[in-house]
Amino acid sequence: MKFDDVRGAMGMASLVVRPGDTSVAQAHNDLPVVDPTVLTNLMEGACSAALAEHFASGETSVTQELVLAISGTVGVGAEIRAHATCVDIDGPILDFNVEVHHGSRLIASANLTRKVVDRVSYMARIAAESVMSEAG
């Protein structure tokens, strides 16, 4: 990845809230509104979209940290859009500002940090850690 090209990269993701995307369906509470985990997934999708054209062969990114602020909510049938902008780079660590809107109304915002990793090495490490934890 050419990290200098990534600063300022923008990505978007959207979805129409379905019954399974609600807090009641996720068993987090009894409200039929979009669940925060769905907002998080949408935000991560926007970050991934911002990076997609910048990866070298075999590279991907994983979330390291997410600081989420929820300022509103929506119900089933609402279309929400996440917009992500890469605002800082420190080696393989990429920082994003992300917002989710329903129309012009802000639903949530986040500072999200992703790390660029080699896909094969990362999965090999995860597999080794899984084997070690099962053996222990």
Give DSSP secondary structure letters for 22-63. BTTTTTS-S--BB-HHHHHHHHHHHHHHHHGGGPPTTEEEEE
pLDDT at 136: 64
* pLDDT per residue of the chain (136 residues) written in tens, 0 to 9: 777 789 999 999 999 999 999 999 999 999 999 999 999 999 999 999 999 999 989 999 999 999 999 999 999 999 999 999 999 999 999 999 999 999 999 999 999 999 999 999 999 999 998 888 887 6
CA distances (Å), 17 to each of 68, 113, 126, in order?
19, 25, 32
pLDDT at 131: 86
CATH tag, 3-135: 3.10.129.10
pTM for the complete prediction? 0.90
